[in-house]
Structure 1
């Protein structure tokens, strides 16, 4: 790491603080989430359900699970689920939501790199490792991340990720080309921190009914993110001993209005404006441990 660059722990600690603040704003718009789950609701999209396949009875860990809504939706499909996230606020909310909804899941508050080490020492392994939507950009060491995933997968187990495409992450909110595709593994500082993307997306992320909640949210904590290309992600997984089974790209983003003037289609799929050419906004990967 270059002189003057914060250590990995310092980067992650700053991100933890920013996520704690943002999580409060995000959940302020989501109303009675326990009631939504009690009535059989799910926050999963068809893309991740398709890539995951039948998960009933399988041990699944959801990395960077945020406030647990998708984690509980996975448990609703019959998986034995553990959610892991660095944010204290997110995990506290997830535990409360699990209790109030009556859907059983375990939640660990941890930096995933520390969690990988601790889990490997116990030799606990999972059938599926899952991650989604704005997760990989927080990974500060891609090789260590891929190795950690491989270490906790059973033989024959699968890693499944659905995330926003790194090509999309080259643009600013007004669609101007702002960021490089290749970052050379250096952190990108976002002075504004994690914003209230739930407010900007509205009902697309809250299908049971968006509420105003916290308005004009400003995050006092900046963040550090990482731009990893598809080739870098796939290569890290291959080098960690995983076999690539599926790589898909999608011309829309699920639920989240990443940029200005995006068009919402049925099912929460968000497309670029009509005057923009089609480009990949999401990708999906399935990789198996042989």
Structure 2
């Protein structure tokens, strides 16, 4: 596939970045006023993430940097990578305002090794809502393996492909999209975003790909990684199915199905180690 999808998605993220940075959902003010504040996404996975102090880390597809800053506050020496210059402008501003020594690099995930260096990292971190923007998960897995030093670890949390296959139709959940990867992207044009906002947004297109859990794990195994953990969760950190989800009672920022949440796998955490 050519790189047209990058231009399409970059334009969408550049347009949404200031809206996200100004939203109550991201609440950047709390990072400025509370030096111990962590993102809800990182806090959710602390029991699985463990001690990252002193680790050389790269956060792929870092967006406006709240998870990146959180890893820094947990003691990691972290660099963030993203394709959106507008998103990185907000990430750099937040780092400067909080006195955080976090480096940010603009670029495509598939160019990460050239941009950041091979075998340089103890931790590759990827947060929720990232790999759906990538057309080739095998190529991504190769990049992850090449970024990691021997003994280094991948930490991935992502929206569950089960959840991502559903949409809301007439107030009910309905299977609408593929679980398994398809070469052709899912194309959307929307004036909405995943944060609450009164800002009028442009109707911009975006291109996405689904990746089943088996596909992701197999790609990592094919590139010499050892899968060391896989946890599935009934919640995800945005209202993925509007009108059908409610805040999780135990995890701030997380949302799950209001009716029988045990029926829906909403996100997963996968860990793998480079031997």
Q: TM-score with structure 2 length normalisation?
A: 0.90
1:242 aligned residue: 225
2:38 to 36, 39, 42: 42
1:168 aligned residue: 163
Aligned ranges 1:249-268 → 2 under 5 Å: 249-253=232-236, 255-260=237-242, 261-266=244-249, 267-268=251-252
Q: CA offset at residue 110 of structure 1?
A: 0.9
1:205 aligned residue: none
Q: CA offset at residue 24 of structure 1?
A: 1.6
Q: CA offset at residue 144 of structure 1?
A: 0.9
Query: Does the Cα contact within 8 Å between 1:25 and 1:217 map onto a contact in 2?
Result: no
2:265 aligned residue: 280
TM-aligned CA distance change 1:186 to 1:273, over 3 Å = same
1:185 aligned residue: 183
Q: TM-score with structure 1 length normalisation?
A: 0.86
TM-aligned CA distance change 1:116 to 1:187, over 3 Å = farther
Q: CA offset at residue 42 of structure 1?
A: 1.0
Q: Pick the structure with more strand per residue.
A: 2
Aligned ranges 1:105-254 → 2 under 5 Å: 105-120=102-117, 123=118, 125-174=120-169, 175-192=173-190, 195-199=192-196, 214-215=197-198, 217-253=200-236
Q: Which has the higher relative contact order, 1 or 2, with Cα contacts under 8 A spaced 6 or more apart?
A: 1
TM-aligned CA distance change 1:277 to 1:286, over 3 Å = closer
Give CA-to-partner distance per residue, 1:78-130, whole Å, 9 cap, x none.
Answer: 1001000111111011001100111210001111112233334xx45100000
Between Structure 1 and Structure 2, how many residues are aligned?
Answer: 266
Aligned ranges 1:65-84 → 2 under 5 Å: 65-84=62-81
Cα distance in 2, alignment partners of residues 277 and 244 from structure 1:
25
Runs of 4+ with deviation above 4 angstroms: none
2:20 aligned residue: 26
Gap regions ≥5 residues in structure 2:
none
